[in-house]
A = this chain, B = another copy of it.
Amino acid sequence: MPHSDILAAAGLTQAELTGGSLTVTTPVDGSEIARLKTHSTAEAEAQIAAAKNAFKSWRLVPAPRRGELVRLLGEELRREKENLGRLVTLECGKIYQEGLGEVQEMIDICDFAVGLSRQLYGLTIASERPGHAMRESWHPMGTCGIITAFNFPVAPWCWNAALALVCGDPVIWKPSEKTPLTALAVQKICERAMAAFGEDAPEGLIQVLIGERDLGETLTASKDVAIISATGSVPMGKAVAADMSKRLGRTILELGGNNAMIVAPSADLEMALRAIVFSAVGTAGQRCTSLRRLIVHEDIYDALIPRLIKAYEGLPIGDPLADGTLVGPLIDLAALDAMTSALERAKAEGGTVHGGARALADTFADAAYVHPAIAEMPAQTEIMHTETFAPILYVVKYSDLDQAIEMQNEVPQGLSSCIFSTDVRETEYFLSAAGSDCGIANVNIGPSGAEIGGAFGGEKETGGGRESGSDAWKGYMRRQTNTVNYSRELPLAQGIKFDI
């Protein structure tokens, strides 16, 4: 399908795609696909004001009714799954299967949020005083600014927005300047859902800001943006946190990952192999949950690594829209440079690199296709402590599980992790307080590909935020502890006597 057809199928008009200052290129072939108008700071502030106003009424719409909007959004997304999935592929370069998967994740979170809309459970709590009722309620918090990254252009918005909307919060989306088109396409889908929903959805409830970093800063600076949920790099996250600390605003941060897999002697190597390839090479190694470090027991190293190298050699690289492709392009040539220099550093630190060369340069001179790389390292060296957004898999040996876990935990990031082992004593240990220090820890599946039912996020430089399932919705609401005295006495807590 020609690129222009993909854009049109996603509902984007020529008028929208032209005449602006923000050039959007597709990583598929490096060609320009749009020149978008960007929002000014004043427009961003106007959006904030509109959202503030929307909040006044939206917070009073009963949550199950708010859920109905999200249900309609899910229905629209079901309808547009292929169109939007294809646009995701075009704009960020992940293969179409993954583009579809990302939209499916949006649909899943909508379903989940609809159920939540009749819950949003607080607690009733036993009070120590006679004639007193204690409880806690969760109330809407205010506008939620959502900052997303190019590698997951749509799903993280939806993880945040579906919950925020059900929780009573308007949303303003600042997508990556590399992937604004999917944001515009989603905004159109939202508008259809709002139209179907009717007048309870106020002006300014769902908005999108197209442009550069300064728009994000407008959001973090405004006390009328109660929450900033930001997905991206650690430096970006620290900047957001610093800005928000000035006004004690709330953040939900999903930052870097440097995710490892431990492969134990008892592992099913066939399964491990498949899991490694998908999680290291999927999205061309540009997931925050991509597998970056492989910690293999010395006894099985030789049974696994040569097969892995062989599997890498056979991976179909190419147009992510084409059937059969498993490895699409990196986002841009700068990413290719970063990958190249990381591999250089790996070599300098004693590593042996397999793969890693540019691919298809003849066909796609302006696109960044690469052969995924495996770097066999003598130990967990310096470069392995950093996250390079590219398909580089560092491999090291271990001899003892505690040592493997120590390596796993040694890096500053704390997002995802996994172990391949069939020994329950190892797998449970890995999941225990003595095991992985990541927010996600899996057994016999790779570090990527979380379901929306669980809370997503991690500690340390990953930023501490949680999105998606479990009680992540609490991040979008304020908790209020209530004590109601329905007696005609006024007893004090802790038995204090104070008689005037």
Selected interface stretch from A122-130, A183-191, A293-301: A122-130
Most chain B Cβ neighbours within 10 Å, of A428, A436, A488:
A428
Q: Are A118 and B128 in contact (CB under 8 A)?
A: yes
Bound complex: CA of A120 vs CA of B112, how far in Å? Answer: 12
Any B CB within 8 A of the CB of A21:
no
Determine whether the beta carbon of B483 is less than 8 Å from that of A130: no
Q: Who on chain B is nearest to A469 by CB?
A: B118
Q: How far, in Å, is A458 (CB) from chain B's closest CB?
A: 9
Q: Are B498 and A315 in contact (CB under 8 A)?
A: no
Known contacts: A123-B121, A124-B121, A424-B427. The answer to whether A97 contacts B496 by CB under 8 A is: yes
A99, B498: Cα distance in complex, Å: 12
CB-based contact B62/A128 at 8 Å = yes
Q: CB of A257 within 8 A of chain B?
A: no
Q: How far is the CB of A430 from chain B (nearest CB, A)?
A: 9
Q: Which stretch in A135-143, A360-368, A380-388 binds the other chain?
A: A135-143
Which residues of chain B come closer than 8 Å to A498, judged between CB atoms?
Answer: 97-98, 278, 282, 326
A interface: dominant SS: mixed
Rounded to whole Å, the gap between the CB of A59 and the closest CB of chain B is 5
List the B side residues contacting A137 at CB < 8 Å: 124, 133, 431-432
Query: Is A399 an interface residue, CB under 8 A from the partner?
Result: no
Given A137-B431, A431-B137, A481-B439, the answer on whether A130 and B62 have CB atoms closer than 8 Å is yes
Contact A135 B124 (CB under 8 A): yes
Question: Contacts of A495 on B, CB cut-off 8 Å?
Answer: 101, 104
Contact A241 B245, CB 8 Å, known A126-B62, A498-B282 = yes
Q: How far is the CB of A247 from chain B (nearest CB, A)?
A: 8
Residues on B with C-beta less than 8 A from A102 are 494
A483–B136 CB distance below 8 A: no
Q: Does A311 contact B (CB under 8 A)?
A: yes
Which one, A7-15, A351-359, A445-453, is touching chain B? Answer: A445-453
The smallest beta-carbon distance between A51 and chain B, in angstroms, is 16
Chain B: CB-nearest residue to A486: B428
Q: Assess whether B238 is in contact with A483, with CB atoms less than 8 Å apart.
A: no
Task: Check if B464 sits within 8 Å of A65, measured CB to CB.
Answer: no
How many copies are assembled? 4
**Binding stretch for chain B, among A28-36, A208-216, A269-277, A330-338:** A269-277
Interfacial residues of chain A within 30-75, with CB under 8 A of chain B in the complex: 59-65, 67, 71
Interface size class of A (residues with CB under 8 A): 35 or more
Q: Give the Cβ gap from A261 to chain B, nearest Cβ, in Å.
A: 13
CB distance A424 to B451 under 8 Å? no
Q: Contact at B464–A248, with CB atoms within 8 Å?
A: yes
Distance to closest chain B CB from A105 (angstroms) = 5
Determine if A422 is an interface residue (Cβ-Cβ < 8 Å): yes
Query: Known contacts A97-B496, A124-B124; is A168 also within 8 Å of B470 by CB?
Result: no
Which residues of A from 83 to 115 have beta carbons under 8 Å from B? Answer: 97-98, 100-102, 104-105, 108, 111-115
Q: Which residues of B contact A60 (CB under 8 A)?
A: 130, 433-434
For residue A18, which residues in chain B have a CB less than 8 angstroms away from its CB? Answer: none
Q: Are A125 and B118 in contact (CB under 8 A)?
A: yes
Task: Report if A470-B125 is in contact (Cβ < 8 Å); known contacts: A111-B114, A485-B445, A490-B445.
Answer: yes
List A residues at the B interface (Cβ < 8 Å): 59-65, 67, 71, 97-98, 100-102, 104-105, 108, 111-141, 168, 234, 237-238, 241-242, 244-246, 248, 250, 253, 255, 268, 271, 273-275, 277-278, 282, 311, 314-315, 326, 421-425, 427-429, 431-434, 436-445, 449-456, 459-464, 466, 469-470, 478-488, 490, 492-498, 500
Other contacts beyond A65-B128, A450-B493, A451-B483: 6, CB < 8 A? A59-B434, A237-B248, A248-B460, A421-B424, A441-B482, A444-B485
Query: What are some 30 contacts across the A-B interface (CB < 8 A)?
Result: A59-B433, A60-B130, A60-B434, A62-B128, A64-B128, A102-B494, A104-B495, A115-B115, A115-B116, A118-B451, A118-B453, A118-B469, A124-B135, A125-B454, A126-B453, A128-B451, A131-B432, A134-B453, A136-B455, A234-B248, A245-B245, A278-B492, A424-B427, A428-B486, A443-B484, A445-B490, A449-B496, A451-B483, A451-B493, A455-B481
